[in-house]
Amino acid sequence: MQKDFELLARDQYSKARHGRLKTAHGVIDTPTFMPVGTQGSVKGVSPRELRELNAQIILGNTYHLFVRPGLEVIKHLGGLHNFMSWNGPILTDSGGFQIFSLAKLRKITDEGVEFQNHIDGARAFISPEIAMEIQAALGSDIAMVLDECVPYPCEYDYAARSAELTTRWAKRCREWKLRNGETAKRGVTDSAVRRFADSVLFGIVQGGTFEDLRRASAQAMVELGFDGYAIGGVSVGEPEEEMMRAIESAEPFLPADRPRYAMGLGTPPQLLEMIARGMDMFDCVLPTRLARNGTAFTTTGTLNLKNAEFAMDKRPIEENCACSACREFTRGYIRHLIKAEEILGLRLITLHNLHSYLNLMSRARAEIERGTFDQFRKAFVAEYKTRDAIIAG
Amino acid sequence: MQKDFELLARDQYSKARHGRLKTAHGVIDTPTFMPVGTQGSVKGVSPRELRELNAQIILGNTYHLFVRPGLEVIKHLGGLHNFMSWNGPILTDSGGFQIFSLAKLRKITDEGVEFQNHIDGARAFISPEIAMEIQAALGSDIAMVLDECVPYPCEYDYAARSAELTTRWAKRCREWKLRNGETAKRGVTDSAVRRFADSVLFGIVQGGTFEDLRRASAQAMVELGFDGYAIGGVSVGEPEEEMMRAIESAEPFLPADRPRYAMGLGTPPQLLEMIARGMDMFDCVLPTRLARNGTAFTTTGTLNLKNAEFAMDKRPIEENCACSACREFTRGYIRHLIKAEEILGLRLITLHNLHSYLNLMSRARAEIERGTFDQFRKAFVAEYKTRDAIIAG
């Protein structure tokens, strides 16, 4: 089941790695940041802008797309890549996280999870097999197993039972994919499943904030054997040291030759800390979500462009930034746009923020190659000031 | 005071004209459509996209910019062109229309108009001279005189007195510009006013729906002498035949060698009818405003892309359309974006609608040159179906 992941460089002072992951829709250089395209669109930006930002992969949310516009529409319009006119790689989550955070009246059994969606309250049922079918229909390049993501805080016993359920579900996802990959090779299933045979499947480590559960979950996933490993259930409200500990508890048990994906985080310093702890892939809504509120990310911290101090500011969001917003527009103008609720304002900050995250990954890769990543990380983290309260998620 | 307007072709079956207007920031081919950049941004699109759409001129709303961010900010950031990073021509209105439609507690005297703005209720006073100072500070290429725009319906006596007030105000605007243009030539005023000496000033014909008042207003404006003439107080709720009559009543009294601007309208068929009646310039919020509600303009009428019938539609908004939305995206995808309230949805429809309006003008110019405009207009109007209720403004 192993696919094309290649390690190109490793940092000698930390666990940072620089690698390359090949998918059906193109190559991804790791560490990588995946802009989040929740509903078939990375909020505020076009596919052309994503290409100009050099985004190599984006994320699609299975739950959202399943609820609206629904699978029939996306299948009819040629799968998620064609639907949204993005021909690069797409990673899809399994829908689990959103079922547990957005949907109502959930009923979890070993079989799967029944829920009412948050849009029109319609009932639906998703099992591990159905989660795979949906991701196959979407045409995902990197699919995720169905998992249960426990909240923070969470009792030990519940976290333990939940991690075991996630393992059983992961096994069924893996089997579905093997079975349907084989069928596809014999040429009897539809084109979405056939393409899906070329995709890769990641297991997800759960276990809350408990070291032994994280270790056991990692070991169980590795025993099943996946193309890559995600660490889920982080950045769900726990203190940052708990988040780091969850990663540190699981990482030593993950094979070095497979990509590791730390799900749903974080701030720029957190990303560098995660890279130092051996993580390769990230997704986070912060750059797009905070942009809509007027907050810009810079290499020295966040700026709330709504603040009056920026009204007359002739500088770009960030000096020497190569993004299209910084090349052409002043803070004063962007502040005006945000205050006046003009769409262009959030578009420009979104472009800058995505550039900032993607550029940080590119910088991290270069520093790892050069053997200077650890110095870079320490200097960056020391310089960085979070000037406004930020909640990741 | 006459500037560089050149007539290149005239239609022999109607009053349609094709001309060219030179401004400090570039040339405008007429008939022309001016996208509306109310608050220093054409809603939903970037200056780069406007350039790619081949927009030759945009409109800025003096009232909105005066209220927010205010003149000090725009002056500090280098005038409206630099502020919004648009280096093509800009026409600014005088602020009159918005004072009468948006602001509260207005008190009109011969001196000017006192009002409370609609954002924070702050009091302000605008006289003809102040309206000119503001437009000078903005760095307008085409400035408009301060006028009073009467509502529909309106009593004859009020419309008559109001048109006379507009004439007196127009005279003061003209005098301010002559005086300050002269001062600027002697090099004693600030750079905004100096640049403003190169701008052109349009008079505005008022008179409500009364033929004799429209004629008298046109004659009074022409007697004062302006670089161009606008017809205001149309598209304020009157029936379409009244709108046409207002234009027809004024047009014969306007000099053929000056550009004519029909303010604040309209639908694509209305624009062609206005061109046939000798109008050269248009601005309208419909293409941007309706886009935000999911309505697209095509050459055969409007489409409400929210409708369920488009959910599975693989076609672009309009077949054979060269706009960037139609080259890349399906109706089905755009419908999904609008239903899911994704910003990209309104961006794509806005791009298409602006392309549609700008392309209609380009087509009209070609048909006038070829001597086939009148046939084109009749065929277009006959084909066009307004499928949804539209209110211009």
Task: Please tell me which of the candidates B39, B336, B347 has its beta carbon nearest to residue A69.
Answer: B336
Nearest 10 degrees: CA dihedral of A270, A275, A276, A278? 130
Contacts of A191 (CB under 8 A, 6+ apart): none
Q: Do B77 and A312 touch (CB under 8 A)?
A: yes
Catalytic choice (B110, B157, B283, B388): B283
Catalytic choice (A11, A93, A147, A227): A93
Task: Please tell me which of the candidates B85, B333, B343 has its beta carbon nearest to residue A43.
Answer: B343
CA distance A93 to chain B (A): 19
Report the DSSP pairing between strands A281-283 and A295-298.
unpaired
Complex ipTM value: 0.96
- Whether A82 contacts A68, CB under 8 Å: no
Catalytic choice (B93, B141, B147, B227): B93
Whole-angstrom distance, CA of residue A246 vs CA of residue A240: 10
Catalytic choice (A11, A147, A280, A283): A283
A93 is catalytic: yes
Q: Do B311 and A73 touch (CB under 8 A)?
A: yes
CA distance A268 to chain B (A): 25
CA distance A72 to chain B (A): 9
Residues of B in contact with A344 (CB under 8 A): 41, 44-46
- Where are any strands of DSSP class E within chain A? 5-10, 17-23, 26-30, 32-34, 36-37, 58-60, 90-92, 104-108, 113-116, 123-126, 142-144, 200-205, 228-231, 260-262, 281-283, 295-298, 301-304
* pLDDT for A192 beyond 80: no
Q: What is the pTM for the complete model shown? A: 0.96
Residues of A in contact with B39 (CB under 8 A): 336-337, 340, 342
What is the sign of the dihedral through the CA atoms of B42, B47, B52 and B57?
A: positive
- Where are any strands of DSSP class E within chain B? 5-10, 17-23, 26-30, 32-34, 36-37, 58-60, 90-92, 104-108, 113-116, 123-126, 142-144, 200-205, 228-231, 260-262, 281-283, 295-298, 301-304
The token duo for B44 is: 């939903």
Q: Do A336 and B73 touch (CB under 8 A)?
A: yes
Per-residue pLDDT of chain B (393 residues; tens, 9 = 90+): 445 899 999 999 999 999 999 999 999 999 999 999 999 999 999 999 999 999 999 999 999 999 999 999 999 999 999 999 999 999 999 998 898 888 887 899 999 999 999 999 999 999 999 999 999 999 999 999 999 999 999 999 999 999 999 999 999 999 999 998 777 667 666 676 667 778 999 999 999 999 999 999 999 999 999 999 999 999 999 999 999 999 999 999 999 999 999 999 999 999 999 999 999 999 999 999 999 999 999 999 999 999 999 999 999 999 999 999 999 999 999 999 999 999 999 999 999 999 999 999 999 999 999 999 999 999 999 999 876 555 443
Q: Which of A96, A98, A91 is nearest to A33 (CA)?
A: A91
Peptide bond into B153 cis (omega under 30): yes
Question: What is the mean pLDDT of the segment spanning A252-270?
Answer: 97
A283 is catalytic: yes
Q: Do B77 and A330 touch (CB under 8 A)?
A: yes
Residues of A in contact with B52 (CB under 8 A): none
What is the sign of the dihedral through the CA atoms of B120, B122, B128 and B132?
A: negative
Pick the residue of B41, B317, B326, B348 with the most A CBs within 10 A to test the interface with A by mutation: B41
